[in-house]
Amino acid sequence: MTDRTRAEPPAGVDEIYWNPDHPVLEILRRRRDSGSTPGNRRDSAKVALTVAGGGMRGAISAAMCAQLEEAGFRDAFDIVYGCSAGAINAAYFLSQPVGTCWYPLSIYYEDLSGGRLIRYTEPLRGRAALNLDYLFDEVLGSKKPLDYGAAAGAQAGLVVLTTDVEAGETYAARHFPTGEVLKAFLRAGARPPLAVRGESRIDGRRLVDGALLAPPQFRLALADGCTHVLALGTRRIRRTDAGVTLANHAYARYLDRLRNGLGPAYLAALRLRRDDRKRLFQLGFASDGPGPHVLSLAPMPWTNEIRFHDTDPGRILNGIRHAYAVSHCATEGIGVRHLRDGLVRTVPRFAVTGPEGPRARNNPPTGGAELVVSQS
């Protein structure tokens, strides 16, 4: 059977998907090498990281976050934006102890796959298809604990995107006074209508999935005055876009029943994101200039794509390995040809939970991922 989510490798000797000396990569390397930290900068730049989600596609941005942490780039960012599953990844990114980033990444192939998060038959029983109680109470609560307090108090600010149903617009939550407040916003931002019934109510707002109306996150970062933005995408790079589909229109009609005008706002957001995907690709070839500078990293066009509702742990793990390698190649200046030809591969140190807490299976607890790179 043909896998419709897979494309053929690109033609040509060595196609380019970003400028290896992009200003965003340059400032990240410079800050890492100089030991720069938030609140103790030697430059006037404001550098942002934006983390996309999308259900199980969040495994892609989680893998890239893991690579950035392991390569020493976490302190290079001044602010981190997250949407939906990407907001959870961002919170883990800011709160995990150094060297343990593979531990929270493992939730995607150990805890959320196999139908434990997404339950296809539950709507037939009048229940939600997306089991947020399992995600927040069991996985993030006890299996792979997320330190909400550490994420809320991180030196680099965290911004969590949600959708304000009554206002019909994106609400960016920030400056969380406690970990519990952050947890409430993360849960609100992970409530896609239809998959989860109802909404979260925080400070008088009716809040649902942050991805519903959100523009591409780099726009929010630029509006906040960021000079450099690294955008982690979870959809593979495409030269053409299918645009708004019949399924999108059907979902828009459902949203309009929640609040009049929400459906058209959703379709407008889809069109903006479609147009900005092309713009992001072009911005990846920027050179020195006044800025602001934006670089997007995403899975290559020829890879198998993780879908929102994927439950196959093998497929998810393959996507994780590829996404980690993409981020590694970009930050360390390795050509895309090595990715295409299979000369860069990641070997993750799988995290498990034991009596003494998280540890790495068959590896030292401070390990991360081994990258085998051939320049031949």
Torsion of CA 88, 94, 100, 101, to 10 degrees: 50
Question: How many separate domains does the chain show?
Answer: 1
Distance of CA 187 to the CA centre of its chain: 16
Domain that holds residue 67: 23-341
Tens of each residue's pLDDT in the chain, 376 residues: 333 333 333 444 346 888 889 999 999 999 999 999 998 999 999 999 999 999 899 999 999 999 999 999 999 999 999 999 999 999 999 999 988 888 889 999 989 887 778 776 665 566 677 889 999 999 999 999 999 999 999 999 999 999 999 999 999 999 999 999 999 999 999 999 888 888 899 999 999 999 999 888 999 999 999 999 999 999 988 766 667 889 999 999 999 998 999 999 999 999 988 888 878 887 888 777 788 999 999 999 888 889 888 888 889 999 999 999 999 999 998 888 888 887 877 665 544 434 344 443 333 333 344 444 433 3
Q: Is 21 a catalytic residue?
A: no
Q: Is 84 a catalytic residue?
A: yes
350: in domain: no
78: in domain: yes
Torsion of CA 57, 208, 103, 37, to 10 degrees: 100
Instruction: Provide the strand spans (E) within 45-185.
Output: 47-51, 79-83, 157-164, 169-173
196-229 core/surface letters (b: 16 or more CB in 10 A; e: else): beebbebeebbbbbbbbbbebbbbbbbebebbbb
Catalytic annotation, pick one of 111, 164, 209, 276: 209
334: in domain: yes
11: in domain: no
Q: Which residues contact 357 (CB under 8 A, 6 or more apart)?
A: none
Task: State how far the Cα of 71 lies from the Cα of 324, in Å rounded to an integer.
Answer: 11
Catalytic annotation, pick one of 84, 106, 296, 327: 84
Q: What is the pLDDT of residue 6?
A: 37
9: in domain: no
Pair 152, 181: CB distance under 8 Å: yes
Task: State how far the Cα of 106 lies from the Cα of 346, in Å rounded to an integer.
Answer: 14
Distance of CA 75 to the CA centre of its chain: 18
Q: What is the pLDDT of residue 125?
A: 66
Q: What is the pLDDT of residue 352?
A: 42
372: in domain: no
The domain spanning residue 61 has which CATH number?
A: 3.40.1090
Pair 302, 341: CB distance under 8 Å: no
How large is the angle between the packed helices 85-95 and 58-70, nearest 10 degrees? 20
Strands 357-360, 351-354: pairing kind: antiparallel
* pTM to 2 decimal places: 0.88
Q: What is the pLDDT of residue 280?
A: 83
Q: What is the pLDDT of residue 284?
A: 82
Task: State how far the Cα of 173 lies from the Cα of 185, in Å rounded to an integer.
Answer: 7
115: in domain: yes
150: in domain: yes
| β-bridge mates for residue 294, sequence order | 229
Strands 79-83, 47-51: pairing kind: parallel
Taken as a whole, the chain contains a residue count of: 376
